[in-house]
Amino acid sequence: MTASFLGEDYLEIRDLTVDFDGFKAVNGVDLTLLQGRLHFLIGPNGAGKTTLVDALTGLVPATGTAAFRNKDLLAMKSHQIVRAGVGRTFQTATVFEELSVLQNLDIAAGMHRRAHTALRARREAPVRVSEALETIGLANLANRSAGVLAHGQKQWLEVGMLLVQDAKVMFLDETVAGMSDAERSETGQLLQRIAPERTIVIIEHDMHFMRSFADFVTVMHSGEILAEGTVAEVQADERVQEVYMGTPTGAKRD
């Protein structure tokens, strides 16, 4: 974990609140996300984790500030936020099933191209796409249609799409859910490989996965931040234990 502020990216969230007709799904959250570490966001169902990410990626309106490179993400539209370097995945992998793995990645790389070049056909894979294919280990499936990929491979493809779009901040929403143990550890290693240059936030229910790979953990409960720290610090926190004792979510994998 390298947590120097100098020359490194960070996303600073202050007093972020999402109000659904009086129900505060996220309530006054202050959070600083730093480059170079795998930051896990955990908490029971309904804690507001996904809503927080939705707010940061323009899906739901929120109040407060979320400063990234002198821009306030909360005032931007989804596609502008992506262009500013903030990407995300969704709980259910949504790749373009009729297109090949390569085409999926190529489309993700497309926002860095000028519009008129889109009228030309792709001759060969751009370097960035080839590199991403290597990184996510799908190079030998490049021309397969994404619809036939296994569940885990689709999630890796999603991560690959974030890589080619050169997202500096990545929000991964339950990426390892439904994966086999082998796929989980491969995913964790993949994330560790790409972490140094990025700010990665992982929403996760899988405590085993979290313990194996987390550099830093934020626990949310009822829309607020309950605790923050290393895995050991968080696990030692009594309030965290209380929250997880009351719900089966935390216990299910122990």
13-21, 25-33, 63-71, 177-185 -> range binding other proteins (CB under 8 A) = 177-185
Site map (CB under 8 A) of other proteins, residues 41-80, x = contact: ----------------x-------------------xxx-
From CA 11, how far away is CA 68, in angstroms rounded?
5
Q: Let me know: does 39 contact 215? Beta carbons within 8 Å.
A: yes
Q: Let me know: does 13 contact 62? Beta carbons within 8 Å.
A: no
Describe the strand order of the beta sheet including 216-221 as a list of residue ranges.
86-88, 169-173, 199-203, 38-42, 216-221, 224-229
**CB-facing half-sphere around the CA of 9: CA atoms within 13 A:** 20
Among 75, 97, 150, 239, contact with other proteins (rule: CB under 8 A): 97
**Nearest approach, Cβ of 134 to other proteins (angstroms)?**
6
> Comparing C-alpha atoms, which of 147, 197, 154, 195 is closest to residue 176?
154
> Binding to other proteins (CB under 8 A): which residues in 122-161?
122-125, 129-130, 133-134, 137, 139-140, 142-143, 145, 147, 161
Q: For 168, which DSSP code?
A: S
**Nearest approach, Cβ of 23 to other proteins (angstroms)?**
24
Q: Give the β-pairing of 224-229 and 10-20.
A: unpaired
- Considering the rule CB under 8 A, would residue 92 count as an interface residue with other proteins? no
Site map (CB under 8 A) of other proteins, residues 211-230, x = contact: xxx-----------------
In 3-state terms, what secondary structure has residue 100? Answer: strand
Bridge partners, 33 (sequence order):
11
Query: Which tokens hold the place of 216?
Result: 């830093």
8-16, 19-27, 181-189, 220-228 -> range binding other proteins (CB under 8 A) = 181-189
17-25, 109-117, 195-203, 220-228 -> range binding other proteins (CB under 8 A) = 109-117
In 3-state terms, what secondary structure has residue 46? Answer: coil
- Considering the rule CB under 8 A, would residue 193 count as an interface residue with other proteins? no
- Considering the rule CB under 8 A, would residue 16 count as an interface residue with other proteins? no
Query: Which tokens hold the place of 103?
Result: 């085409």
Binding stretches for other proteins (CB under 8 A):
57, 77-79, 82-83, 87-88, 90, 94-99, 102-104, 106-108, 110-111, 113, 117-125, 129-130, 133-134, 137, 139-140, 142-143, 145, 147, 161, 165, 181-182, 185-186, 188-189, 207-208, 211-213, 231-232, 235, 240-241, 244-245, 250-251, 254
